[in-house]
Structure 1
Amino acid sequence: MTFNKSYPDDRSDNVEKLQEKIQNTLENISEAEASMAFSNEVEQQRILEKNQKREESIQSMRIEAKEEAAARKNGYK
């Protein structure tokens, strides 16, 4: 029988993790756009749709990063 050990909530590096995720997602968008030159119309449409979802994710991550930075500033109250 396995029990999950509970760990305290450590939010100390959440802003940095979110910034890294944003940067990685921006790089994925750039790489996907570059691959469009070698893709057919169907693949290009999929890339465009996926990049749109990536953009939406970036916006959400930016909001979350701002909230985390504010929480850090306020001592995570």
Structure 2
Amino acid sequence: MKNHQQPNPDDRSDNVEKLQEMVQNTIENIEASHDTMKFASDEEKENIKQKNKRREDSIESMRAEIKDEYKER
């Protein structure tokens, strides 16, 4: 006899709050990386800059998703 599991229902009621928290955490990571860059080599600084660019892109995407979630409410 196979165990058939039902998928969890799609509960999106707290998506906006989760996304806002993710945005805040990402901003904090960017700010912390600025402190790290003070002591980093040139190569490490370049890697941090690239990572921060990806973080900023993620923030833009998350903010767009937050707007979409508000529209759905």
Query: Which TM bucket (shorter chain)?
Result: over 0.9
Q: Secondary structure of 1:38's partner?
A: coil
- Equivalents in 2 of 1:3, 1:53: separation in Å? 40
Residues of 2 paired with 1:2 and 1:32: CA distance?
A: 47
2:54 match: 53
Query: What does residue range 1-77 of structure 1 map to in structure 2 within 5 Å?
Result: 3-72=4-73
Moved over 2 A (4+): 1-5
Can you list the C-alpha shifts for 1:4-29, whole angstroms capped at 9, x where unaligned?
43111101000000000000000000
Cα distance in structure 1, aligned partners of 2:3 and 2:45: 46
| Runs of 5+ consecutive residues of structure 2 not aligned to the other structure | none
TM-score (norm 2): 0.92
Identity over aligned pairs, percent:
50
Unaligned runs of at least 5 residues, structure 1:
73-77
Give the superposed CA RMSD. 1.2
TM-score w.r.t. the length of structure 1 is 0.87
Name the SS of the counterpart of 2:24 in structure 1.
helix
Q: Assess, with a 3 A threshold, how the Cα gap between structure 1 residues 2 and 21 changes in structure 2: closer, same or farther.
A: farther
